[in-house]
Amino acid sequence: MAIAISVTNVDATGVTTWMTGTLVFSGSYATGGDALDWTAAMETAGASGQVVASGSGPQQVMIDSQNGNAGYYVPVQGSGINNWKVKCFAGGGTEVSAGAYPGSITGDVVAFQAQFKRLQ
């Protein structure tokens, strides 16, 4: 199942556009990572008047727990804006097993920060 993206802030005052928000995980995890599609986030950025370059995925992404979860999250760049992945790991570095997400992930507050090429 895809990861839901909620954009909380867009800053395009510099030469790049920075976007922050949260990710919500639901359904089942697939070994190798769950799908992350940036399309809706980019549409949100456009709706707020802060436009990112069309068809250009993030140049840099950071994802982290905001409530002290011992696990961690790794973004995996895709070939386009709609086929990124997020790999989920338990504390100690073991990838989460395929199947239903554990409560430690569905109950986590997972924040992201992404940098996009700004539309000139």
Q: Which residues, 6 or more positions from 26, have their beta carbon under 8 angstroms from its beta carbon?
A: 1, 4, 101, 106
Residue type, 116: F
Q: Which residues, 6 or more positions from 77, have their beta carbon under 8 angstroms from its beta carbon?
A: 57, 61, 84
Q: Look at the block and give the residue holding tokens 């727990």.
A: 65
CA–CA distances in Å: residue 97 to residues 31, 33, 38, 67, 68: 7, 10, 24, 22, 21
For the chain, domain boundaries:
4-117
Q: Give pLDDT tens digits along the chain (120 positions).
A: 579 999 898 888 888 888 999 999 999 999 999 999 988 787 776 666 656 665 678 899 999 999 888 889 999 999 888 899 999 999 888 999 999 999 999 999 999 999 988 766
